[in-house]
Each structure stands twice: as C-alpha cells, then as structure tokens.
Homo-oligomer: A and B are copies of this chain.
Amino acid sequence: MVALIQNDFSDFNDADEPNLRPYQPDSVGIVVKKFAHFDLPLPLQSGAVLRPFTLAYETYGTLNAERSNAILICHALSGDSHVAGYYTQNPHEAPGWWDEAVGPGKMFDTNRFFVICANVIGGCQGSTGPSSVAPDGKPYGLRFPVVTIADMVHAQRHLMDILGIDRLFAVAGGSMGGMQALQWAVDYPERVNSVLFLASTPRSSAQNIAFNEIGRQAIYADKNWRGGDYYGHTAPAAGLAVARMVGHITYMSEYSLETKFSRRLQTHDQIGYTFAPEFAVESYLQHQGEKFVQRFDANSYLYVTKAIDYFDIGAGHPSMTDALRHVTAKFLVISFSSDWLYTAAQARELVEALPGREVEYEHVTASFGHDSFLVEVETMTHLVGGYLNRL
C-alpha cells in the first residue's frame, strides 16, 4: 500500500506578490517536497522492522520515456531532500543545499537528467525518524529502531520502485551521501549504472567515530534531552548546538578557518577579558549552532551519526575487495587534499578495493576541507559534469 502525496506549499504563495527573485535561467525554480507513504514492512539490519514509513523527496527535470535518465542524489548528515530551487517566491529564501549543482546546464544537468533526492529514514525533514509519530500515536523518540546506511538505501529502493525506475543512471553523494551511493552499488548492483563517490569513505575510522560520539555525548548531557523523550517539551538545543559546532569544525580546514577568521574580533577592537564570544570564529560557531537547532532534531542527529559510525562496507567479509565482488557499477571517486574528515587515504581504500572495475579517481587540490565538494563548484562541474557526459 503506497500513497504519493504532493505538498505544493501553496500556502506560501501569495498571489498578490510578484516574483521578486530575478529570473535565473540555470535555476530549477520553484519545487515541491513530495511524500511517499509506504504501508509495508522495512526489515532493518538490526532485526527490527519499520512499518509504516514515509520518505520525503523532491525531483528535478523530467524522466525520459525509457526511464533511463534518473540520478539519485543522496544527502549528508545534516541534509534533506531539498537539493535545489526554492519552495516559495520569497526573495529572501535560501535555495536548496546543492543548488549550484542541480539545474539546467549545471553539473547535474536537469535538461538531460531526472534528479531525485529523498530525506533518509531516521532523519527529520519529512521522512520517518525518531520525531515521527509511532503507530501508538506518540512520537518514537528512542523507541525508533537504530538504522544503518543499508537501511536508508533499502527505503530509497522502494521509492525507486514506485517511481518506476529500474536502473539509476547514477547514484551520487558527498560525505554520508557517498556511503549511500556505495551501498546502492553493493546491495542492488543490477540497478546502478554508476556511482559518484565524493569526499566520502568506505568505512568510518576511529577518529570519525570519536567526533560523532562527542556530538552525541553533548546531546545526552543536555538536561532537556530527557532520554530522547523531549517532544512537546523544550528541545535539547544547547547540546545539539555543541554537536553541530564539533561537526562544523571537521567540515572546514585549518586554512579555511584561518582565512575566514584568523584572530579577528567580532565586534570590539580590543580583547574584553570576558567569556562572551569575542573572536569572530566563536561567533560563527555559535551562529552555526543556533541556526542548526532551528532545523534539526537532536534525536535524528543521534540516529544519523550512529548510521555513519556503523558504516563499513567490508564488514562481515574477508576483505573490502570481497565485499565489493558483485559490484558492476562504474565509479567516479573524488577526494580533496584538505579534507581531514574523510581523507584521500580513505577514498583510495575504496579505489583499491575495486580492481578490474571502471573507476576514475580524482584527487583535487582544494583548500576548504571537507566542504570542498560543495564549495569548489567550478572544479566539480568540470569533473562531475564531464564524467556524466562521457558515460
């Protein structure tokens, strides 16, 4: 039993207000978030079963008659289905999180491709997660089952089924999105033509786990967390903000922090000898924390980071190469020189575990750390766009 519901956000459109955003020929324009409701069991790696479940998703461009031009973009830890475009005509609205990548003539060219992105299960942007209402009518909280990258991908496969897409031209993702793309190629080799694995890793390292665990500990330590049972009460914003700040540092290089902020003071000419934030980098982190808690659920942060920590594509196999033996997809793997979250060595581990396959590996010299995959638009357009054109 599957229902597709379109949410056109019509309440955001004011008929009296003209379109105040200048015409952008390379923008996907106004988009709608859609919801696919699945009343079928999703067996999870843990042994638990999730039923029913919903995936929030968006699409850009047009599916061709052969249904052969679909690209699935998988989002990262804090992402959602809203990759590109705008929900409203409000000229102050920010576009989707990878707007520079998806649109007419962009690296994922919507003149050619039908682009799909779904919010992961466990998330908090419309797909079923710990903040969703459980069958008993109360929010799940920590009763929500622990999910894995494979579980996220399994749910996405159901979405592809109802969209009638048997084979994806590409599955693409940066960071946790790359983990999902790789998992797709392992679990559904016949359904994936190519994988774009960007600034990601085939397995979380001890340091990766350590940073995520610190974020979780910060959430647990917040008095408002209440063991995850805070819905209807004050949210554990302070803890989630600290978690976000920890994460945020790992997305930026020392160079980008130094270039952006160095030791600049935010508002004063002189050091104040107080504990109020005074360095610009402190204000920036606070701002990032405050913005994040307005849009993200603390329990989802726990679940999604746990899925990342569990990710090890070689787990349960004699080697990673063995785990990937049924993979038939072509790969584009891109790492960035200043990415110290998911390093070039981690990307190369994947490349080396795919002998005999069509793998292109690009190591990009870039200054902006893990965020480079979002920031280095020109290079990425050249590499990703060029790769998709050659396919």
Taking Cβ atoms with an 8 Å cutoff, the residues of A that contact B are: 45-48, 142, 145-146, 203-207, 209-211, 213-214, 216-218, 220-223, 238-239, 241-242, 245-246, 249, 252, 254, 257-258, 260-263, 271, 273-275, 277, 279-282, 285-286, 289, 302, 306, 309-310, 312, 340, 343
Contact = CB atoms under 8 A, between A and B. Distances in A.
18 contacts: A45-B273, A48-B273, A146-B275, A204-B263, A205-B258, A206-B257, A207-B257, A207-B258, A209-B279, A210-B249, A210-B257, A210-B285, A213-B285, A221-B222, A221-B238, A271-B310, A279-B309, A340-B340
A270 to B, nearest CB: 10
B281 A209 contact: yes
A281 B209 CA distance: 7
Contacts of A273: 45-48, 145-146
Contact of A216 (B263, B275, B306, B340): B275
A367 to B, nearest CB: 13
A146 B273 CA distance: 6
Secondary structure call for the A interface: helix
B210 A281 contact: yes
Contacts of A214: 242, 245-246, 249, 285
A203 B264 CA distance: 13
A239 B236 CA distance: 14
A334 B226 CA distance: 47
Given A206-B258, A214-B285, 11 more contacts: A46-B273, A205-B258, A206-B279, A206-B281, A209-B263, A209-B279, A214-B245, A217-B285, A218-B218, A218-B242, A242-B242
A282 B222 CA distance: 19
B254 A343 contact: yes
Given A210-B285, A218-B242, A273-B145, A205 B279 contact: no
A205 B238 contact: no
Contact of A221 (B207, B221, B277, B343): B221
Indicate the member of A146, A209, A279, A286 with the most B CB atoms within 10 Å.
A209
Q: In the A-B complex, list the 10 residue pairs whose CB atoms are closest, starting with the nearest.
A: A221-B238, A46-B273, A223-B223, A206-B257, A146-B273, A206-B261, A206-B281, A207-B254, A213-B282, A207-B257
Nearest to A237: B221
A273 B252 CA distance: 30
Nearest to A147: B273
A46 B242 CA distance: 28
A285 B209 CA distance: 11
A67 to B, nearest CB: 35
Contacts of A312: 263
B306 A275 contact: yes
A340 B340 CA distance: 10
Nearest to A220: B238
A143 to B, nearest CB: 12
Given A221-B221, A241-B217, A340-B340, A206 B262 contact: yes
B282 A209 contact: yes
A47 B145 CA distance: 56
A337 to B, nearest CB: 14
A273 B281 CA distance: 36
A340 B252 CA distance: 14
Contact of A245 (B217, B254, B258): B217
A209 B210 CA distance: 20
A249 B207 contact: yes
Nearest to A275: B302
